[in-house]
């Protein structure tokens, strides 16, 4: 969907129940920045198709917002199209980790026949592990032709999280630094990371975005909604720090 003149979101891409995952792109006059590639090659083809239709003559570049496979799974598809990929320097995954991801998907299939037939392979059809070509270690600015975007380090959910800020249109692509509707995933990190997450939320809040594309859930298109969601995450993280465990850990059921 088109958010503003320059910015687009590709929402509801397939992942594991109850999660879907979002991606997006910013189309300048000369270059299109793709933000995340989905969890598999099928999702990546969808993202690529939309971006190409908007600016067919533009050169593309990908940035992954973090290390988890739902954000980097489609990298291989983009690499096949000759598109360079950048991410935080900590985005380093192994083939064995990717194979474990596929096995976990298959184990979650409720129907025993489909599980035995390993139908998770259909979801990952044509998907291969592809690591980024370029490592990002600090905030930076990218020129897309008549527009710029800022890449901002926003660690917390993982140490590798990045956000993409398009100031002119007031749009922030924040990956899993923020989710909408879903309880934020603190289980992928530890209390020291949660402290960093609070600082990242402060940075995002200072930008005062009018629109936000979260890693998961519906996009936010009102500044007040964005502010409320930031505060919601801040409250949950403070509670987790006070209690010493995440809101989705087994301890949360029997505090």
pLDDT at 250: 87
What pLDDT, in 10s, does the model give residues 164-200? 999 999 999 999 999 999 999 999 999 999 999 999 9
pLDDT at 165: 98
Q: Tell me the whole-structure pTM to 2 decimals.
A: 0.96
pLDDT at 241: 97
Q: Measure the CA–CA gap between 155 and 159, rounded to whole angstroms.
A: 5
Non-local (6+) Cβ contacts of 115 within 8 A are 106, 107, 109
pLDDT at 23: 98
Cis peptide before 243 (omega within 30 of 0): no
pLDDT at 251: 85
Its sign, for the CA torsion 33, 37, 43, 44, is: positive
Its sign, for the CA torsion 196, 202, 207, 210, is: positive
Split the chain (255 residues) into runs of 10 and give each run's mean pLDDT.
97 94 98 98 98 98 98 98 98 97 96 97 97 98 97 98 98 97 95 97 97 98 95 97 93 79
Taken in order of first residue, the domains within the chain and their CATH numbers are 7-93+129-252 (3.60.15.10)
Q: What 3-state class would DSSP assign to 124?
A: coil
pLDDT at 24: 98
Q: What 3-state class would DSSP assign to 160?
A: coil
pLDDT at 191: 96
Q: What 3-state class would DSSP assign to 245?
A: coil
pLDDT at 254: 76
């Amino acid at each position: 969907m088109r958010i503003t003149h320059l910015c687009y979101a590709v929402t509801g891409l397939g992942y594991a129940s109850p999660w879907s995952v979002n991606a997006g792109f910013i189309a300048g006059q000369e270059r299109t920045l793709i933000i995340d590639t989905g969890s598999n090659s099928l999702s990546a083809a969808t993202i690529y198709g939309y971006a190409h239709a908007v600016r067919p003559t533009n050169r593309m570049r990908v940035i992954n917002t973090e290390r988890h496979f739902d954000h980097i799974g489609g990298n291989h598809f983009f690499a096949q199209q000759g598109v360079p990929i950048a991410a935080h320097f900590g985005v380093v995954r192994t083939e064995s980790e990717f194979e474990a991801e596929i096995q976990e998907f298959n184990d979650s299939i409720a129907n025993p026949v489909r599980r035995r037939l390993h139908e998770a392979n259909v979801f990952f059809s044509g998907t291969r592990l592809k690591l980024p070509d370029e490592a990002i270690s600090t905030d930076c600015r990218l020129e897309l032709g008549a527009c710029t975007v800022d890449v901002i380090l926003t660690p917390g959910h993982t140490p590798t999280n990045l956000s993409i800020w398009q100031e002119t249109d007031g749009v922030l692509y924040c990956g899993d630094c923020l989710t909408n509707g879903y309880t934020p995933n603190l289980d992928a990190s530890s209390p020291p990371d949660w402290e960093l997450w609070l600082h990242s939320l402060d940075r995002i809040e200072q930008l005062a975005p009018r629109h936000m594309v979260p890693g998961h859930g519906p996009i936010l298109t009102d500044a007040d909604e964005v502010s409320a969601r930031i505060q919601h995450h801040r409250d949950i993280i403070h509670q987790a720090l006070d209690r010493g465990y995440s809101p989705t850990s087994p301890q949360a059921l029997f505090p």
